[in-house]
Structure 1
Amino acid sequence: MSQATIGQLSGHHNSFRRTATWAAILLVTILTNVPQADCAELDSVFRSDFKAALAEAEEKKLPLLIHFYADWCMPCKRMDREVFSATDVKDLLQTRFIATKVNSDQQQDLVRRYGVETLPSDVIVDSQSGRVLALHAGFQDRNGYVANISKAEAKFTRAHAGETLVLKSTPAAVEAKGASSTSSGGIELGEPKPIIGLAGFSPVAIAKNRQWNRGSPKFAWDYKEVTYYLCSREELVEFRNDPEAFAPKLLGCDPVILWESDKAVAGDIKYAAFFDDELFLFKSEERRRQFKANPEKYIRLQHALKVDQIDQTVVR
């Protein structure tokens, strides 16, 4: 190959390299100019520690808002830019809620606890009872987001209308006050009554001490739409921090019936049994004996049950 040909190829190569360099610079410039949410501002709105946020919400008697996201989730980033950067949204979250962000990849236990299936998702929890007030999945625009969380706040206010809450006079609070006369015992008309787990016995006392102690509605906490009564403030905090460690497995459904028929039937506390420190409930003594004969066969069940799938009104 002649020197001229080599020189021509080298010139083409240098030209391509210069073009690629300018293209890269242009791309960086474009990406830099895309509106981004101010990380420092978002940090001032959202707590990073879930347990600390829950404790703060309980202390201040405010609803807890949990925003589930992932670093790879484009709709999540869009909500950061278009929703959480809005002044009215930031003001609402900072004054009316205790808000926390949860990375779904890093905290799968919370994803399972609250039944999150889509990102982004926002779960609003009554910090005084653990009851889930609302779950909104998918991207929401600013107006829709404000409307949805305001409705959840109104439900929280109605549920605690007779208590002294750290609440200001906002349209949502005024609406809740006007509607409070239509509620009874913290339950709106038309809403189902709470499902009491373990017939009101404390799951912490059962799991830790193997004692069937009656809990109190004063120390109630919701887990997967089932309300559990605890015996003391200490038990309530312990259950709240790790409900999966104490609540009966499979929402209290008989694992033998579930295995044999794929039907969710609530067990009875009269036929309870522990295996590997986990509590299972059975429909009859016969079912319990079947389980004890080969427990490994039944504990492999991975059903993601919900309360409305259970074939019995009261989950025991």
Structure 2
Amino acid sequence: MDSTEVAIDSTKVKKVDAIKLNWVPNYKEALKRAKKEKKAVLIYFTGSDWCEPCKVLDRDLFHTEKFKTLSDNDLVLLEVDSPRRQDLLSQDKISENLYLKRKFKIKSFPALIILNYRGRKIAEKRGYILTEYYYPFIQSAIYK
């Protein structure tokens, strides 16, 4: 496993390239799983193949053991990708992603929306901020 350590909030967070998060395939499944597991849904809006801040967020937040632990314990994850290369997604996924972008009025990336299991928005963060600030944002939303 290839890894490096990064200092965040005077603690070390291990970044691991081989981290596999449990992303759910669609919005309906995310809400269903959130209700069953009593978790919040984190929707990550990204432009995976062109958005540079999204690539940084993906690498520095989503590929850490700290985030993996947090998400496994407290979140259902849904990625809503808007790649320039449309062949990266199925037509159904493209349609669902367009619907979700309209529903949550997403005009720029990255954006994180946190929902309860009923689909009610409880928090949002639009645009890129320093990676270490995402943890308090996420934790304050899910532990309300």
Instruction: Please indicate the TM-score interval, normalised by the length of the shorter structure.
Output: 0.7 to 0.9
Aligned residue number for residue 282 of structure 1 = none
Q: How does 1:64-103 map to 2 (within 5 A)?
A: 64-70=41-47, 71-103=49-81
Structure number with larger C-alpha Rg: 1
Aligned residue number for residue 121 of structure 1 = 111
CA deviation map 1:255-300 (0-9, x unaligned) = xxxxxxxxxxxxxxxxxxxxxxxxxxxxxxxxxxxxxxxxxxxxxx
**Structure with the bigger percentage of strand:** 2
Aligned residue number for residue 308 of structure 1 = none
CA deviation map 1:175-234 (0-9, x unaligned) = xxxxxxxxxxxxxxxxxxxxxxxxxxxxxxxxxxxxxxxxxxxxxxxxxxxxxxxxxxxx
Q: Give the secondary structure class of the aligned counterpart of 1:47.
A: coil
Number of positions where the alignment pairs a residue of Structure 1 with one of Structure 2: 117
Report the alpha carbon displacement of residue 37 of structure 1 after superposing the two structures with TM: 6.9
**Structure with the bigger percentage of helix:** 1
Aligned residue number for residue 33 of structure 2 = 56
The AA in structure 2 aligned to 1:88 is: K
User: Distance between the aligned counterparts of 1:93 and 1:104, measured in 2?
Assistant: 22
The AA in structure 1 aligned to 2:101 is: V
Report the alpha carbon displacement of residue 134 of structure 1 after superposing the two structures with TM: 0.7
Q: Which runs of 5+ in 1 are unaligned?
A: 1-35, 156-316
Aligned residue number for residue 132 of structure 2 = 143
CA deviation map 1:90-134 (0-9, x unaligned) = 11011111111111352111001111122010000011x322011
Q: Which runs of 5+ in 2 are unaligned?
A: 1-14, 84-93
The AA in structure 1 aligned to 2:106 is: V
Indicate the RMSD between aligned Cα atoms, in angstroms: 1.9
TM-score in terms of structure 1 length? 0.35
Tell me, yes or no, if the aligned pair for 1:48 and 1:102 is still in contact at 8 Å. Answer: no
Q: Which has the higher contact order (CA 8 A, sep 6+)?
A: 2
TM-score in terms of structure 2 length? 0.73
Tell me, yes or no, if the aligned pair for 2:16 and 2:65 is still in contact at 8 Å. Answer: no
